[in-house]
Amino acid sequence: MSKNKPAASDQAGCDEKGVAAYLRAHPDFFTYHSDLLAEINVPHVTGSAVSLVERQVTILRDQNRQLRRRIMEMVEAARENDRLLERLQRFTLGLMELERLEDLPARVLRDLREEFDADRAVLRLFLEPDAGGESPEFTRRETAEPSLGNVLRAGKPVCGRPKPSQLLYLFGEQADLICSAALIPLGEHGETGILAVGSYDEQRFHPEMGKLFLGHIGAAVAAAAERLAERSG
């Protein structure tokens, strides 16, 4: 009984794999056989033929362009981070200038609009101001618990489209205008209050975005509120 011979296509495939493996193992092969480079052509996507060296140069140029584009993106991201740091510094220094707890909400909301282009911002502090009583900015945590309890206890910024009950509690009559928002608990578990920054753009605040700077803003506001509360107490 005769044995089946391997098909020519299978044998060619094995030979090709062997050649490829050999060239990977000997990357300096063409250094010692440079004469072959002049004889080897690689079909181009347009149908014309180019030498192996020309093809390699084209690939390297494409890779270089991609690398330069990535570097430029990284440089621009670094510049944007620098700008954010400068704004955050001005924001924090402004809070340090305050002497009365009652002045904190207006300063925070104004600076968020001017420094960070916030469309809407709301601050709810679970503290009692010097004048006493309750106002939209100074309230009890119990009033926020039904709609924001989970966010407060998490103690971390939450971004995206808030629930209707959360929007209504925070933004009131303006709730329908808010397409995305950042909810920032103040304090480790939201014991000091909550800061909400709303946007008319549904892509401005999304769940996948970085929240480092939002956390810094929340920490600065919480520290200022606690310092002023102790001072007034």
State how far the alpha carbon of 163 is from the alpha carbons of 67, 123, 175, 191, in Å. Answer: 42, 18, 10, 21
On the 0-12 / 13-18 / 19+ scale of CB atoms within 10 A, 113 is middle
Give the number of C-alpha atoms closer than 13 A to the C-alpha of residue 4, restricted to the C-beta side: 5
Predicted model pTM: 0.68
DSSP 46: T
Smallest Cα–Cα separation from 154: which of 194, 196, 127, 120? 194
Three-state DSSP class for residue 184: strand
SS3 sequence, 85-150?
Answer: HHHHHHHHHHHHCCCCHHHHHHHHHHHHHHHHCCCEEEEEECCCCCCCCCCCCECCHHHHHHHHHH
pLDDT computed for residue 1 by the predictor: 46
- pLDDT digits over 195-212, tens only? 999 999 999 999 999 899
Position 102 pLDDT exceeds 80: yes
Q: Which band of pLDDT confidence, cut at 50, 70 and 90, is reported for residue 48?
A: low
Identify the pLDDT of residue 22. 86
* Residue 28 pLDDT: 79
